[in-house]
Structure 1
């Protein structure tokens, strides 16, 4: 049995799950999923990388409830790592119309830094990277140089794939729907510390 760390690219996974089954699986327990993907390993460190949405109060509230529920369900194992969203003004070259777009920032860098830090530390045999972002390839190469004995395994979200990551790490695989369905948080998560209840958003049914 090995010791495994898990790095979850939240929005990469979110969009893959949403494309597959709408919002059905968004109330996902990443620690439970990791246990199903690596059943023979000890899951010792799960990091969920996300960023707060802008200009959408309802979405922001759902997004805040979810990581709080994750942390309450898995207080000893899971950490939420926040990046940020940035507004970007766009303009059509043809008609001149303009609009505001939003770009997620820092998540890729945060995952890359975490992967390198884990490689430089001792005690982790495998890192499961839940993402299909090819921008992580340089970090994977660096981690393997730092710690040749550590295994890095990309777990691609549904409808997401990186040919570059798959070529670099042939152990890459796609997360199946069954594992997502079996790894949902309880409808109501209760914090063991404060007693606060976190309820799955009705919008995610």
Structure 2
């Protein structure tokens, strides 16, 4: 049995799941998913890396309820690491239309930093990286140099692929829909410490 950490690229996973089945699987229990993906391992550290929604109050409330539910379900095992979104004004040169776009910042850097911290600590056997972001390749190469004994396994979200990551780490695989369906949080999650309860948003049914 190996000791395993899990690093989850929330943005990458969210859009992969949404493309696959809309909002059906968004109430996802990442610890349960990790246990299904690595059934022989001891999952000791799960980090969910995401960024707070901007300019959409309803989406922000759903996101916060979800993050609170995750932390209540696994208070000693799961950590939420937040980056940020940056607004960017966009313009169409043809018609002159203007709109606001959003770039997620810091998540890939936060994953890279976490990967290097784990490699340097030399106390874990495996890191499961839930992402198909090829920008992580330099960090993977560095981690392999620092800790050649560390096994790094990319788990690609649905409809997400990275040929560069797969070439670097042939153990890469795609997360199947069955595992996502089996890894949902309870419809209502209660915080044992505070008594607060967090319900799956009706919008995500």
Instruction: Give yes or no for TM over 0.5.
Output: yes
Corresponding residue number in structure 2 for 1:90: 90
Structure 2 length-normalised TM: 0.99
Matched with 1:54 is 54
Given that 2:86 and 2:103 are in contact with CA atoms closer than 8 Å, whether structure 1 keeps it comes out as: yes
Structure 1 partner of 2:188: 188
CA offsets 1:135-187 (integer angstroms, 9 cap, x no match): 00000001001100000000000000000000000000000001000000000
Give the match's secondary structure for 2:124.
coil
SS for the counterpart of 2:45 is strand
Whole-angstrom distance in 1 between the partners of 2:183 and 2:95? 47
Aligned residues: 205
CA distance in 2, matches of 1:45, 1:76: 9
What are structure 1's unaligned runs of at least 5 residues?
A: none
* 1: CA distance, partners of 2:89 / 2:186: 40
1:53-202 mapped onto 2 (5 Å cutoff): 53-202=53-202
**C-alpha displacement at 1:192, in angstroms?**
1.0
Within-5 A mapping of 1:13-32: 13-32=13-32
TM-score, normalization by structure 1? 0.99
Runs of at least 5 residues in structure 2 that lack an aligned partner in the other structure:
none
CA contact (8 A) 2:129 2:154 kept: yes
Aligned to 2:79, what secondary structure does the other structure show?
Answer: strand
What secondary structure sits across from 2:68 in the alignment?
A: helix
Aligned mates of 1:88, 1:21 — CA distance in 2: 29
Aligned equivalents of 2:164, 2:93: Cα separation in 1: 33
Task: Report the Cα offset of residue 93 of structure 1.
Answer: 1.4
Distance in structure 1 (CA, Å) of the matches to 2:59 and 2:51: 12
Partner of 1:2 in structure 2?
Answer: 2
Runs of 4+ in 1 over 6 A off after TM superposition: none
